[in-house]
Structure 1
Amino acid sequence: MTTVSLYTDPRETTYDQIIDELIEKTDRFLIVDRGHEIDDPPKRVAQVLEQLEPYLIEVFTMDEAMVRERFMHNSMIDSHAMYSSGSYYIYSCTPESGQVLKQEATRFGDWLYPSLPDDLCFLKEDGSDYFYTVAHEGMYGMGITEEEASELMERIPGLFFKLQRHEQFDCFLDDAIQHQTDRLNITGYLLSEIPDRIRELKQLKELEVFEHM
């Protein structure tokens, strides 16, 4: 599977736009209750699960998934979100379930337990990720080609993918400015000074530079 990572977490209007895109392009999404062994889940986690109840397809634990794979040769879900124990909730993608996702968060990094259920991911028909979130690591990406990623970047401002063309620094900075990234990591370009155009990044909150000649 080809996966294209994102430099930064889509936020606010961009988050809403990509949620609409994902609801239209996929049939199912996944969120995780990492504290499933606790009798009473955190209040907001419980509230979100309750709001999404009408769209629930199934719930399973990591152990149940492993049993299915081992004895039934049925790997139903192969998601970045499946890295630890928890209750995994699968929901149908509808305009109404998408609205809940937009009401409860302003970016994918908000899907972080215990504030919300963990790691919102959208699934392909084969159970792999179409869009994945690993919120505690700040990792986001899509199971698409670079060409598809470029097309999405053109349509949705603020969606900043890691592309091969970014091996050229000027192209990398052009895209960073176009999508007004709030984080920028500059490394491997052999720069001797910070370009003045960095000032054009009006939303920049975090700048990391690691260069050596």
Structure 2
Amino acid sequence: MKKFKEIEYWDLTENPKDDIYKRLIKVLCNNSDKFYFIMRKELKYNQEILAQFEPYTLETYKTKKWAGTETKGPAATVFVMESNEETYKLLVKYANSLYDWVAPKLPEDLTFIKNNFIWFSCTTHEEFAGFSIRSDYYKNLIFGIQGLKLEPLE
């Protein structure tokens, strides 16, 4: 596996929907140790959906800063989850696109991590998402997702 000297950044130019969304989430879940989403105190979320993620919760904590976001308001709660086949099924059961992950139904800002490196992050309400790639292996993974629209970030 060839490593890059620098990290390459690739932004999504279109909201992945339906089958493209499912393929994206499959690649992310299969190649990440964990992922997280956030919930803001001032927003409401579907508690029945959140309860289904509870068995896979590794940790929760409050912060004002997470991948791609820094808030001046109240701290958000980060829910760190196992990345596995069961959480993949939940991620595609309750959303048909990446930007469906927004209040009031779902938590926000899906972020995927491998070896403590954030390689995919999303700021849902801004409809911004992208990859941080540091090897050919991961670059080949994302370019193997048929229909995913990407552009390099300069």
The TM tier, using the shorter chain, reads 0.7 to 0.9
The residue number in structure 2 matching 1:125 is: 115
The Cα RMSD (Å) is 2.3
1:70-85 pair list within 5 angstroms: 79-80=67-68, 82-84=69-71, 85=75
Q: Which has the larger radius of gyration?
A: 1
Give, in angstroms, the shift of residue 143 of structure 1: 1.2
The answer to whether 1:29 aligns with 2:30 is no
TM-score by length of 1: 0.60
The residue number in structure 2 matching 1:115 is: 105
Given residue 121 of structure 1, which amino acid in structure 2 is its aligned partner? T
Aligned with 1:159 (options 130, 145, 148):
148
In the alignment, the residues of structure 2 paired with residue 79 and residue 123 of structure 1 have an alpha-carbon distance, to the nearest angstrom, of: 11
Compare the two structures and name the one with the higher helix fraction: 1
Given residue 142 of structure 1, which amino acid in structure 2 is its aligned partner? F
In the alignment, the residues of structure 2 paired with residue 117 and residue 6 of structure 1 have an alpha-carbon distance, to the nearest angstrom, of: 20
Given residue 17 of structure 2, which amino acid in structure 1 is its aligned partner? R
**Residues 110-167 of structure 1 deviation map (CA, whole Å, 9 limit, x = unaligned):** 11122310111111322x42111111111011111596546633x2222111048xxx
Given residue 29 of structure 1, which amino acid in structure 2 is its aligned partner? F
In the alignment, the residues of structure 1 paired with residue 132 and residue 55 of structure 2 have an alpha-carbon distance, to the nearest angstrom, of: 27
In the alignment, the residues of structure 2 paired with residue 88 and residue 156 of structure 1 have an alpha-carbon distance, to the nearest angstrom, of: 28
SS of the equivalent of 2:88 reads helix
Aligned with 1:137 (options 91, 108, 126):
126
Identity of aligned residues (%): 24
Does the CA contact (< 8 Å) of 1:133 and 1:140 recur in 2? Answer: yes
Given residue 91 of structure 1, which amino acid in structure 2 is its aligned partner? M
SS of the equivalent of 2:67 reads coil
SS of the equivalent of 2:81 reads strand
SS of the equivalent of 1:8 reads coil
The answer to whether 1:97 aligns with 2:84 is no
In the alignment, the residues of structure 2 paired with residue 7 and residue 123 of structure 1 have an alpha-carbon distance, to the nearest angstrom, of: 21
The residue number in structure 2 matching 1:15 is: 21
Unaligned runs of 5+ in 1: 66-77, 165-213
The residue number in structure 1 matching 2:9 is: 3
* Cα pair distance change 1:47/1:83, threshold 3 Å: farther
Unaligned runs of 5+ in 2: 1-6
The residue number in structure 2 matching 1:62 is: 63
Does the CA contact (< 8 Å) of 1:146 and 1:163 recur in 2? Answer: no
TM-score by length of 2: 0.81
SS of the equivalent of 2:148 reads coil
In the alignment, the residues of structure 2 paired with residue 27 and residue 146 of structure 1 have an alpha-carbon distance, to the nearest angstrom, of: 17
